[in-house]
Amino acid sequence: MCRSFVFSAFVCAALALASPAFAQDRSGTFELSPFGGAYFGGNLYDGSLGRIHAETDFAYGVRFAYNVSRHFGIEVDWTEARPRLHTDSHHAPYTSSTVGHLRHDVYEANGIFNFGTGRVYGYIGLGAGASVLKTELNAGPSDTQTKFTGNFSAGMKAFVTPRFGFRLDGRLRSTDTDQTTNHGTTCDFYGYCYHYHSNWYYSSELTGGLIFAF
């Protein structure tokens, strides 16, 4: 706890002492950002025998960006997570068991929209790319599929020096699996019932990392 306090105080002091103008306009600069954090999975399959769900796991990867202007940048990234897969039966929804693992590799290109002019500023991003889904089942062969994926991100960057900083990123991702991932019937307050069906695998991430600018 003491070490965390000292580190936080050091970062705050560095930000306060740094030149107030250095991070206001980063046009024409490149950024390399290794990162790690939490991966939150969702339903990968939903059929007559039950659901297969990806659990929470560790995600890591790297992002490479170019700042076209003060307010806009382009970025490519790679992310990997290896969550466990568990299944539950529609006939016994409160029991589940681990049936294998999912290796989820994502390759994306994103547009980044920055707001703010100081050393600490926020951003939102939109992107698309390819998800490589490799399922490794305990009782069966592995299967690898490459599918379209899209994402929405939001986060912040904090620069300690003109060439070094920290980054926090939250990301929602949708991947088209070409198979049923969610289906069922829901009823509203007035008694009207609707059937829903989806082929999309929804996952999300919350990651933190470093920024090396040049």
Q: Tell me the mean pLDDT in the region 165-187.
A: 92
Q: How confident is the model at residue 156 (pLDDT cuts 50, 70, 90)?
A: very high
Tell me the Cα Rg of the chain: 21
Write the Ramachandran bin of 37: left for phi over 0, alpha for psi from -120 to 50, otherwise beta: left
pLDDT of residue 95: 54
Burial of residue 139 (number of CB atoms within 10 Å: 0-12, 13-18, 19+): exposed
Q: How confident is the model at residue 18 (pLDDT cuts 50, 70, 90)?
A: very low
pLDDT, tens only, 80-123: 999 999 987 655 555 568 889 999 999 999 999 999 878 999 99
Percent over 70 (pLDDT), the chain:
85
End-to-end CA distance of the chain: 33
Categorize the per-residue pLDDT at 189 as very low, low, confident or very high, splitting at 50, 70 and 90.
confident
Highest mean pLDDT among 98-102, 138-142, 186-190: 98-102
For residues 138-149, give the mean pLDDT.
90
- Mean per-residue pLDDT of the chain: 87
More confident residue, 9 or 147: 147
What CA–CA distances, in Å, run from 155 to 74, 86, 168, 183, 184? 15, 31, 5, 32, 34
- Confidence category of residue 188, pLDDT binned at 50, 70, 90: confident
* pLDDT reading at 59 higher than 50: yes
User: Alpha-carbon torsion 99, 79, 36, 177, what sign?
Assistant: negative
The answer to whether residue 159 scores a pLDDT higher than 50 is yes
Q: What is the pLDDT of residues 28-42, one digit of tens each?
A: 999 999 999 999 999
- Reduce the DSSP state of residue 6 to 3 states and report it: helix
CATH of 26-213, one of 1.10.150.20, 1.10.357.10, 3.20.20.70, 2.40.160.20: 2.40.160.20
Please report the pLDDT score of residue 97 as a whole number: 85
**Residue partners of 45: CB distance under 8 A and separation at least 6:** 51, 52, 177, 179, 180, 181
Distance, CA of 25 to CA of 27 (rounded, Å) = 6
Q: What is the mean pLDDT of residues 188-195?
A: 81
Higher pLDDT, residue 115 or 8: 115
Least confident stretch, 10-19, 48-57, 141-150, 188-197: 10-19
Residue 11 has pLDDT above 70, yes or no: no
